[in-house]
Amino acid sequence: MSDIDKVVAHIRSKLTDLNTPPPDPAYDYSSLGLCVIDAVFSIGAHYSSTEKVVRQFCERFNWIKEGRGTVEETHD
């Protein structure tokens, strides 16, 4: 079994239902852009400060924070 096969087998054993999103609100961003902001600002930081950055970004640019896949992004 190759290393990749081992990784895939491990993922499949831990994440049994890939069609159901994780229940954690941290995974409920409405867009990929917010996921990127979260990823960049969480490097070497406390997660509470990352949450604040995402919240402030959404307030400043009028984006909806929660609701994965429920809204379409619009650009001004």
Instruction: Please write the tens of the pLDDT for every residue from 28-43.
Output: 788 888 989 999 988 9
CA atoms in the 13 A half-sphere facing the CB of 76 = 4
| The predicted structure's pLDDT at residue 70 | 54
In a domain, 1, yes or no: no
In a domain, 55, yes or no: yes
In a domain, 12, yes or no: no
Q: Number of folded domains in the chain?
A: 1
In a domain, 25, yes or no: yes
In a domain, 59, yes or no: yes
pLDDT at 26 over 80: no
In a domain, 41, yes or no: yes
Instruction: Report the distance separating Cα 60 and Cα 53, nearest Å.
Output: 10
Domain hosting 53: range is 20-76
In a domain, 36, yes or no: yes
In a domain, 72, yes or no: yes
